[in-house]
């Protein structure tokens, strides 16, 4: 499946184009599973069965139990839900987190225990794979978070600890093999549109017996953990994308085929483009195999992005210039501490449909674009 003949799409980390299997499953779902999945009648049951299939698939792929999966409107909602569960508590995040973690944590963090750690496993901009922190798992009981009970008066939180661990696995899903139990996670975030599913669907893994507060209240859906009518069609689309992950063991293809493309592009950029430097460590295990972040001395990222766009090559940049309030990527700032490096960065992110011809096309355009920008730049190459 190729969108738009002639386009070289290398922005999979922003959104992967929808898989044919997903589109077909959603089209069928629109007709067959239109009923409200919470309803007790047959069409409702049929819809719910499909939702449960998707839930089971995600659980199986990440080593969780189906009842530990909550479907959400996306990764940002899942991230917000976890952070706001720990409102008033200590919250520690890595500086590389998505804004839906950083900004939510800034607003809701306090000083109480238990403490929440939120560390993404793989970063969306550089692809870096992070070490998850060691957390204090010793027992602790003095928190109102632990006093939540079920409708039958049973305590919901029986796993009472000083600290809990959340990880945003949005970029990692499908790219590397994952097991939430082996990673020691209490919470994990997922998104459908990064793996060829629809935009507007995500999921949250919540380990049994840990603290949880619903973000959307008012409804029995998702075991009272997330109100709102089930997004049956979207969840079925997510399920179809997950099915493909499972059947094709995509993480193996990423490790071989996609890695080879990414590394080839990196090698050629370093040899053929003056003033280029990698912001991604290509060592296996140090980064996702599909992301390559590069900076080009004296060339500004948005201009690079748009010159490439004009030639049908789609990438993203860590430079955002708007309203005179030019904020470079917080991730590259945290990694390099150099605003110029951040402003001059471009991210190439590959998918399973990427080809050697894509790399070739990039290299037939990129050196010329960078050369022009460097030559008209106020920043001198030799100053660097």
Partner 1 sequence: MENQDWIYSETVKEHFLNPRNYLMGDESAFDYDAVGQVGNPVCGDQMRMYIKVTDGKISDIRWKTYGCASAIASTSALSELAKGKTLDEALKIDAEAIDDYLGKLPKHKFHCSVLGHDALREAIEKYRTSQPGSAKS
218 vs 337, which CB is nearer to partner 1? 337
Q: Which stretch binds partner 1 (CB under 8 A): 21-29, 31-39, 260-268, 303-311?
A: 303-311
Nearest partner of 83 among 160, 198, 167, judged by Cα: 167
Shortest distance in whole angstroms from residue 378 CB to partner 1: 4
Q: Is 89 a catalytic residue?
A: no
CB of 371 to partner 1, least distance (A): 10
Closest separation in Å from C-beta 372 to partner 1: 9
| Nearest Cα to Cα of residue 367 among 267, 265, 262, 274 | 274
Q: How far is the CB of 374 from partner 1 (least distance, A)?
A: 9
- Which position among 306, 356, 360, 368 is part of the footprint of partner 1 (CB under 8 A)? 306
370's tokens: 């960078």
Question: What's the closest the beta carbon of residue 340 comes to partner 1, in angstroms?
Answer: 5
- Residue 139 has a CB neighbour count (10 Å cut-off) of 8
Q: Which residues contact 262 (CB under 8 A, 6 or more apart)?
A: 282, 289, 290, 291, 292, 348, 350
Both tokens of 259, joined, read: 């890695």
- Are 354 and 257 contacting, i.e. CB atoms less than 8 angstroms apart? no
How many whole angstroms separate alpha carbon 309 and alpha carbon 76?
28
3-state secondary structure of 4: coil
Indicate the residue among 132 and 321 with the shorter CB distance to partner 1.
321
What number of other Cβ atoms are within 10 A of residue 119's Cβ?
20
Q: Per-residue x/- marks for partner 1, 307-346, CB under 8 A?
A: x--xxx------xxxxxx-x-x----------xx--x---
The dihedral of CA 370, 7, 279, 13: what is its sign? positive
Q: Output the CA torsion sign for 378, 382, 383, 384.
A: positive
Q: Which is nearer to partner 1, 191 or 279 (CB)?
A: 279
Residue with Cβ nearer partner 1 (39 or 310): 310
Give the nearer residue to partner 1 in terms of CB position, either 59 or 298: 298
The CB density around residue 197, as the number of other CB atoms within 10 Å, is: 31
Question: What gap in Å lies between CA 196 and CA 207, rounded to an integer?
Answer: 26
Q: Which two tokens stand for residue 375?
A: 């030559």
User: What end-to-end distance do the CA atoms of the chain give, in Å?
Assistant: 42
Contact flag: residue 4 with partner 1 (CB under 8 A):
yes
Cβ closer to partner 1: 44 or 312? Answer: 312
Catalytic residue among 14, 321, 334, 339: 321
- Residue from 42, 220, 271, 378 in contact with partner 1 (CB under 8 A): 378
Provide, rounded to whole angstroms, the least separation between the CB of residue 99 and partner 1.
18
Least distance from partner 1 to the Cβ atom of residue 13, Å: 21
Which residue from 68, 255, 300, 358 is in contact with partner 1, where contact means CB under 8 A?
A: 300
Site string (185-224) toward partner 1, x via CB under 8 A: ----------------------------------------
Q: Parallel, antiparallel, or unpaired for β 187-191 and 202-206?
A: antiparallel
Site string for partner 1, 259-298 (x = CB under 8 A): ---------------------------------------x
- Alpha carbon 5 to chain centroid, angstroms: 27
Which among 223, 268, 233, 242 is positioned nearest to 363, based on CA atoms?
268
Considering only 72, 303, 336, 354, the residue that binds partner 1 (CB under 8 A) is: 303
Q: Which is nearer to partner 1, 244 or 361 (CB)?
A: 361
Whether the CB-CB separation of 237 and 218 falls below 8 Å is answered with: no
Count, residues near partner 1 per rule CB under 8 A: 29
Structure tokens at 202: 């995500």
Positions marked catalytic: 321
- The residues that touch partner 1, with contacts defined as CB under 8 A, are 4, 6-7, 298-300, 302-303, 306-307, 310-312, 319-324, 326, 328, 339-340, 343, 375-379
């Amino acid at each position: 499946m190729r969108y738009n003949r002639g386009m070289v799409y290398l922005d999979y980390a922003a959104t992967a184009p929808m898989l044919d299997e997903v589109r077909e499953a959603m089209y069928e779902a629109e007709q067959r599973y239109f009923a409200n999945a919470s309803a007790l009648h047959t069409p409702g049951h049929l819809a719910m069965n499909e939702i449960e299939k998707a839930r089971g698939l995600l659980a199986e792929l990440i080593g969780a139990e189906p009842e530990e999966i909550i479907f959400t409107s996306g990764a940002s909602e899942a991230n917000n839900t976890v952070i706001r569960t720990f409102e008033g508590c200590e919250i520690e995040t890595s500086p590389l987190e998505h804004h839906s973690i950083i900004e939510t944590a800034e607003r809701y963090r306090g000083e109480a225990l238990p403490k929440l750690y939120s560390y993404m496993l793989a970063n969306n901009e550089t692809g870096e794979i992070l070490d998850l922190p060691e957390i204090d798992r010793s027992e602790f009981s003095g928190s109102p978070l632990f006093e939540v009970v079920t409708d039958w008066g049973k305590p919901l939180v029986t796993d009472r600890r000083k600290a809990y661990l959340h990880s945003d696995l949005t970029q990692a899903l499908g790219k590397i093999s994952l097991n939430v139990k082996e990673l020691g996670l209490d919470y994990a975030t997922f998104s459908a549109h990064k793996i060829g599913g629809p935009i507007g669907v995500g999921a949250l893994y919540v380990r049994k017996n840990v603290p949880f507060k619903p973000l959307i209240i008012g409804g029995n859906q998702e075991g009272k953990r997330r109100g709102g009518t089930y997004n049956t069609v979207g969840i079925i689309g997510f399920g179809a994308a997950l099915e493909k992950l499972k059947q094709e063991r995509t993480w193996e293809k990423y490790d071989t085929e996609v890695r080879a493309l990414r590394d080839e592009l990196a090698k050629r950029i370093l040899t053929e483009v003056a003033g280029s430097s990698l912001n991604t460590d290509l060592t296996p295990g140090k980064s996702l195999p599909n992301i390559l972040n590069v900076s080009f001395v004296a060339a500004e990222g948005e201009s690079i992005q748009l010159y490439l766009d004009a030639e049908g090559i789609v990438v993203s940049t860590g430079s955002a210039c708007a309203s005179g309030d030019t904020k470079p990527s917080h991730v590259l700032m945290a990694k390099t501490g150099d605003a110029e490096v951040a402003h001059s960065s471009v991210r190439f992110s590959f998918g399973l449909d990427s080809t050697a011809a894509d790399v070739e096309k990039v290299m037939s355009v990129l050196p010329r674009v960078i050369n022009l920008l460097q030559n008209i730049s106020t920043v001198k190459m030799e100053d660097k």
